[in-house]
Amino acid sequence: MLQRPLQSVGRRAISLERCTRVQRAWNSSAAISPKFSEPEWATREEPVAEYATERGYIEISVGQDLGGYTVLRKLGWGTGSTVWLAQRKSDWVYAALKATKGIEQDPTDSPRRQELAFLQRTRTQPPSHPGHARISHLYDAFAHPHSRAGHQCLATEPLSQHLALLAEHRCRDRPASCATSCARCSRRSIFGTESATSCTRT
pLDDT reported for residue 201: 47
Q: Out of 34-43, 83-92, 127-136, 155-164, pick the least confident.
A: 34-43
At the topology level, CATH places domain 48-201 in: Phosphorylase Kinase; domain 1 (3.30.200)
pLDDT reported for residue 141: 93
Q: Out of 14-18, 28-32, 76-80, 184-188, pick the least confident.
A: 28-32
Structure confidence by residue, pLDDT tens digits, 87-128 = 999 999 999 999 999 887 777 777 777 888 888 888 887 888
pLDDT reported for residue 86: 97
Q: Which residues are CB-neighbours of 6 under 8 A, at least 6 positions away?
A: 13, 14, 15, 16
Q: Which residues are CB-neighbours of 87 under 8 A, at least 6 positions away?
A: 69, 70, 72, 93, 94, 95
For residues 70 and 110, what is the distance between their CA atoms, to the nearest angstrom? 29
The mean pLDDT value for 62-78 works out to: 94
pLDDT reported for residue 72: 97
Percent of the chain with pLDDT over 70: 57
pTM of the model: 0.65
| 98 appears as a binding residue in the annotation | yes
Could you tell me the residue ranges of all domains in the chain?
Answer: 48-201
For residues 142 and 65, what is the distance between their CA atoms, to the nearest angstrom? 13
